[in-house]
A and B are shown apart, each in its own frame.
Chain A
Amino acid sequence: GENVEQHPSTLSVQEGDSAVIKCTYSDSASNYFPWYKQELGKGPQLIIDIRSNVGEKKDQRIAVTLNKTAKHFSLHITETQPEDSAVYFCAASIYGNNRLAFGKGNQVVVIP
């Protein structure tokens, strides 16, 4: 099955700097890649997603890039703010599979 890995496991950034989290996946058939943000004690919330027919997608301060050849995708957060501190999960799936393969999560800490 699909295997998704996230790096780094913990990332600390100064407020206002950018944060980048990278995920790699194993199954070249995967074609959908969502990112979730989980705040302490809450369920994960979808923040952005990308499909394999697109190389980049932006939504205000967050963006996701996809490199199908290298089988990796990244989350970019610009102008980080304290409220960006959370655990971020990446995932991958194949259309029609009904399941997402999740990475183990990255703890992002924004230092004021």
Chain B
Amino acid sequence: SQTIHQWPATLVQPVGSPLSLECTVEGTSNPNLYWYRQAAGRGLQLLFYSVGIGQISSEVPQNLSASRPQDRQFILSSKKLLLSDSGFYLCAWSGTGGEETQYFGPGTRLLVL
């Protein structure tokens, strides 16, 4: 069966510091991968998605970036965090070939102080 991991689970970072969040998927090949952000009490905002290694689509302009160095690894990064980057970051995967169902990871709670 497929599983999705995210780490760290919780992160407190000062403004201006760098960020690296990691997501890995097990039990599937060539998944589509997604990064979402969820502000407190709000909906899900799609940040990036990837249909393959090195292929990243950005949904919103911001100071975040994403990379996919391996088939089942998706990384969310920032060079300098802003207060507004605080939130709950969720990684998700779906199958290829038009399969729409997305499966979410446990999330990373980021607090920027």
Residues of chain A having any CB pair with chain B under 8 Å? 32, 34, 36, 41-46, 49, 89, 93, 95-100, 102-105
Contacts and interface: CB of A to CB of B under 8 A. Distances in A.
B90 A44 contact: yes
Nearest to A31: B100
B106 A98 contact: no
Given A98-B32, A99-B49, 12 more contacts: A41-B109, A43-B104, A43-B106, A93-B100, A95-B100, A96-B98, A98-B98, A99-B46, A100-B102, A102-B43, A105-B43, A105-B44
A29 to B, nearest CB: 13
Contacts of A45: 104
Interface size class for chain B?
20 to 34
Interface in B63-107: 90, 92, 94, 98, 100-107
A2 to B, nearest CB: 12
B33 to A, nearest CB: 10
A81 B113 CA distance: 38
Contacts of A100: 100, 102
22 contacts: A32-B100, A34-B101, A34-B102, A36-B104, A41-B109, A43-B90, A43-B92, A43-B104, A44-B90, A45-B104, A46-B102, A89-B43, A89-B44, A95-B98, A95-B100, A96-B98, A98-B32, A98-B98, A99-B46, A100-B100, A102-B44, A105-B42
